[in-house]
Structure 1
Amino acid sequence: MLVWERPEPPDRPVPAPLSRERIVQAAIQLADADGLDAVSLRKVAAALDVGPMRLYGYIATKEELLDLMVDAVHAEIRPAGDGWREVLRSLAEATRQAAHQHEWLADLIGGRPQLGPNTLASGEAVLAAMGGVDLDTVVPAVAAVNAYVIGAVRREITERRAERLSGMDQKQWQATFGPYLQRTFATGRFPALATVVHDGPHLDADQTFWTGLDFLLDGIEARISSP
């Protein structure tokens, strides 16, 4: 029986009452502070001041705990709006905000579909908004938006982590490696890259995200509108 359907143990009059919700929230706090490496059943039990064995009545494995954590964060992802474009844009924005709030989420989203109730509710909202669109378009369109958002937020979170690890923000990194690129471009071997670096737009993370998303949504709209 999956964790979503498995009943919790009955309440017991003990000094530290437990529930799956309390366990998951403790795990999320650990992950928010120190990443997924800080999450284990033993560490969560210590944070709750209980013995590790008590957690196994609620959660059988760390994988179940991670699934529950992802689903709990999906409670923050509630796509809304008038029409499919607004809802897909809302989905992208809410997912990005959740990943910025919980950086570890970027390591867990993608891959096989999440099956928790909050995740299913988010998917239901998106698909309901696209009810007037044929399924041959809906399925790849939603998949494309999800793939774009996952890739974008992973890139952004990777940049954040690189800044913390190196001690250099993006401008400092560019200043450090700029002379190397100038010497390399001066060889004439990479004219297209040189043109982009010298003359192309230099968008910040927000501009890059929203511009790319609009390109994608424009393509979906063109496909929906085509006869």
Structure 2
Amino acid sequence: MTVWDRPEPPPSPAPLDRERIVAAAVALADESGLDGVSLRKVAGRLNAGPMRLYGYIATKQELFDLMVDEVYAEILPEERPDDWREALSTLAHRTRHAALRHPWLADLLGGRPALGPNALSVGEATLAALDGLADIDTALRAVETVSAYFTGAIRREIANLRAERATGLSRHDWQRAHGPQLTKTLATGRFPALTKAVYGGTDVDPETTFTTGLEWVLDAVATKLTPPPE
């Protein structure tokens, strides 16, 4: 029986339920990352004894599952997109925005499929937009391909943000700090392709980078969407 199917304990004098537990866990993770989340710390946030939480959640993994599904409620589009490209683009952008609000989400993306009710609703809305455009295996590969792109892109962006917080250096501060060393290295002539990229490439913001890569992936997916024979 999953955590979503298991009944909650009867009410007690101090109000406690899974919704409050998950909200407290998400708040802790937003503040300190996943390392800052434990059943003991969640119980402390709720002024409850740690053992009381085991009546609602059996393991830390169950707590993480509930936290992820809570964030999937933010990813779920307000209206179901009819166009497949809009559906996949919406999924990518809303997942990125959710991860920027909850950076710990990046650590839990890309593993086994999330099976909570909100995650399933997101999956349903996404696949429904591809219905009739290709056989089911092609539709699944399309979603997996786009998901693989935005999961990797989100993890990279979050890793950079964490590095900024850890070092106190913004991306541009870091570039300026390492500029002299890089300039000296490139002047040796050993890295002509990198030299061209450094001096001739356009420096764009993370959102532009994300959107451009996503559009390229969607263009590639479009070439594989052929309606199945009747």
Q: Shorter-normalised TM-score: what interval?
A: over 0.9
Deviation at 1:72, TM superposition (A): 0.6
CA distance in 2, matches of 1:44, 1:226: 49
Q: Give the match's secondary structure for 2:224.
A: helix
Deviation at 1:81, TM superposition (A): 2.4
CA distance in 1, matches of 2:227, 2:215: 18
TM-score w.r.t. the length of structure 2 is 0.94
Counterparts in 2 of 1:226 and 1:212: CA distance versus 1, 3 Å: farther
For structure 2, the 5+ residue unaligned runs are none
Does 2:211 correspond to 1:213?
Answer: no
Amino acid at match of 1:123: G
CA RMSD of aligned residues (A): 1.4
Q: Give the match's secondary structure for 1:110.
A: coil
TM-score w.r.t. the length of structure 1 is 0.96
2:69 to 63, 68, 71: 71
Listed as ranges, the matches of 1:67-216 within 5 Å are 67-79=65-77, 80-134=80-134, 135-216=136-217
Deviation at 1:185, TM superposition (A): 1.0
Residues matched between the structures, number? 225
Q: 1:7 matched to which residue of 2?
A: 7
Q: Give the match's secondary structure for 2:74.
A: coil
Q: Give the match's secondary structure for 1:104.
A: helix
CA distance in 2, matches of 1:52, 1:67: 19
Identity over aligned residues, as a percent? 59
For structure 1, the 5+ residue unaligned runs are none
CA distance in 1, matches of 2:83, 2:221: 13
Deviation at 1:82, TM superposition (A): 3.0
Deviation at 1:182, TM superposition (A): 1.1
Deviation at 1:223, TM superposition (A): 2.1
Q: Which runs of 4+ in 1 moved over 4 A?
A: none
CA distance in 1, matches of 2:123, 2:172: 38
Amino acid at match of 2:28: L
The higher-RCO structure (CA 8 Å, 6+ apart) is 2
Q: 2:26 matched to which residue of 1?
A: 28
Q: Give the match's secondary structure for 1:202.
A: coil
Counterparts in 2 of 1:84 and 1:181: CA distance versus 1, 3 Å: same
